[in-house]
Amino acid sequence: MNSDQHIARRLIAVRERLKKSQSEFADILNIAKNTLNGYEKGTRPLTLETARRIHERYNISVDWLLFGDVGQPRQELAEEFGPAPDIDADQKRAKVQGNRRRAS
């Protein structure tokens, strides 16, 4: 199964959970019914714009809709992204800039 087919299954699940027909759901999303049908068959890739509309209307995570992600990255992946930002350094920098503005 390719990624468009996985997206199709999640999209169908959303629509059915909302108890909407394809026509109703397409109208709500401001897309043609045949476009939605293509998304649900996995023959047409879901556009980011349509995913955004679903998110805004129903608070469905775009990450889940497009990738099936339900949470934050795994710890080992997060560690690969690099160290956490040095918040103390940012606070010191802001304090120095604030003092410079007052001195002017």
Domains and CATH numbers, the chain: 3-67 (1.10.260.40)
Phi and psi at 62, nearest 5°, equal -65, -35
Q: Is the pLDDT of residue 60 over 80?
A: yes
Its pTM surpasses 0.75: no
* pLDDT, tens digit (0-9, with 9 covering 90-100), for 25-39: 999 999 999 999 999
Query: What torsion, rounded to 10 degrees, do the Cα atoms 86, 87, 91, 97 define?
Result: 50
Q: Is the pLDDT of residue 64 over 60?
A: yes
* pLDDT, tens digit (0-9, with 9 covering 90-100), for 12-27: 999 999 999 999 999 9
**Could you tell me where the DSSP H helices lie in the chain?**
3-17, 22-29, 33-41, 48-58, 62-67, 75-81, 87-103
